[in-house]
Amino acid sequence: MTGPIAGERPADASLPVAVAQFSPAADAAANLQTITALVTTAVSRGARLVVLPEYSSFFIDPFDSSLAENAEPLDGPFVQALTALAREHDIVVVAGLVERAGDDRRVRNTVVAVGSDGLVATYRKLHLYDAFGQRESDWIEAGELVPPQVFSHGGLRFGLMTCYDLRFPEVARTLVDAGADAILVPAEWVRGPLKEHHWRTLLHARAIENTVFVAAADHPPPLGVGASMIVDPQGVEIAAVGTATDVAVAHLDLDAVERVRRVNPALRLRRFRVVAADGIPAPLDSGSA
């Protein structure tokens, strides 16, 4: 989905973006109360776009049937509440939603980008976390292969992905090929041996290899690693949160993307591409290892 919600991109485009870190609970009303407070704080610090974690609408560990019981449609109360927040502050809010799926047991792990008029873009997690002893696919329905989810705001173009997708570099590359200047990553990056190292390394790598900004919001400990951050196109952390419930804000300057790409034209010099048909990422061959 491409959904411009701003005018033509000015030559000196710069947009204050926030990552807001918190631990969503198995209480939708409490989550919205926390989100409202974090968004208000982010706006007070100048943010015009706020990124919240994966599963912001509802989260329980371990997963159980309450996940499906608390799933919502895209026009449900969670998105309506985000729309009201976005309208009140004239911003865009990006957050993880437990969305209703096609059956009564599984749900969709969805990211929504919401402006003052409602949904701007929707992304359903492609790569489910069946790794490190976890099986997200027992409870989550994987997203279909659709065109990259890119939208415009404040003169920049933003792409959406979720958490485990970071381990698949082709996802970020398809977003950049669709015009993204920045990649937004709501996450619940589960703690474990070397997991914080993986988190930081992958966020930096996706920024460096694609010469884009990356803004990622995680759950804090004890379940997540925290370390929500914004990384610039050279892989430098320009704003970050530690392990607390908090907000970090950075200015995303389009000129920085263009400057880095003049010095480091890796995208232009590459000899391999992610093959797509009609803008839709091609599925893996069933015989692939």
Active site residues: 54, 125, 163
Tell me the one-letter amino acid at 154: G
N-to-C CA span, the chain: 31
Give the whole-angstrom CA distance, residue 25 versus residue 67. Answer: 11
Helix, strand or coil for residue 247?
Answer: strand
What secondary structure letter does DSSP report for 1?
A: -
Give the whole-angstrom CA distance, residue 163 versus residue 122. Answer: 15
Give the whole-angstrom CA distance, residue 56 versus residue 265. Answer: 37
To the nearest 10°, report the CA torsion of 254, 259, 260, 261. 90
What secondary structure letter does DSSP report for 285?
A: P
Q: What are phi and psi of 151, to 5 degrees?
A: -135, 160
To the nearest 10°, report the CA torsion of 118, 215, 134, 103. 10
Do residues 208 and 177 make contact, with C-beta atoms less than 8 angstroms apart? no
Helix, strand or coil for residue 42?
Answer: helix
Do residues 118 and 79 make contact, with C-beta atoms less than 8 angstroms apart? yes
To the nearest 10°, report the CA torsion of 48, 187, 74, 37. -50
